Amino acid sequence: CEVSATMKLLLAGIVLIFITGSEAQWYRFPLEAAQGAYDMGKAYKDMRDANWINSDKYFHARGNYDAAQRGTGGRWAAEVISDAREWVQGNSGRGAEDTEADQEANRWGRGGGDPNRYRPAGLPDKY
């Protein structure tokens, strides 16, 4: 029994080190992830509503940018959603070149780059 108590104490110490090492922000991750998923959904909805030629890269970058601004959880959600979307679209016959261009826009936005880099001429200001 003494070994198991020592192991429990050691495990608790390791967990405490990880928590303090991550600046005790772990509890924010789920909320940030949910907010990031919302941002991604809003960008998708806006893209569908705008129905603007050559605007998909802008909305990819904007959704990822907005989600990443939420924090680590938002950045994670943006990456998971972007990768899943591109995987589905890539397996539906879209070209690898277009998929990679989308992923570049995703990474640009997620990395804090200005989404307007991809904004097409004439896209209404409300987007």
pLDDT at 3: 59
Average pLDDT along the chain:
88
Of the ranges 2-11, 26-35, 44-53, 94-103, which is most confident? 44-53
In which band, very low, low, confident or very high, does the pLDDT at 98 lie, cut at 50, 70 and 90? confident
- Give CA–CA dist 51/63, Å, rounded: 16
In which band, very low, low, confident or very high, does the pLDDT at 117 lie, cut at 50, 70 and 90? very high
Encode 86-106: b = buried (16+ Cβ within 10 Å), e = exposed. Answer: beeebeeeeeeeebeebbebb
pLDDT over threshold 60, residue 73: yes
Span 56-84, average pLDDT: 96
- Tokens 């909320």 found at: 31
56, 119 contact by CB (below 8 A): no
What is the pTM for the complete model shown? 0.78
Q: Each residue of 21-30: pLDDT tens digit?
A: 555 567 789 9
Distance of CA 71 to the CA centre of its chain: 9
Distances 34 to 16, 76, 99, 103, 108 between C-alpha atoms, Å: 25, 10, 25, 21, 21
72 half-sphere exposure, CB direction, 13 A CA radius: 9
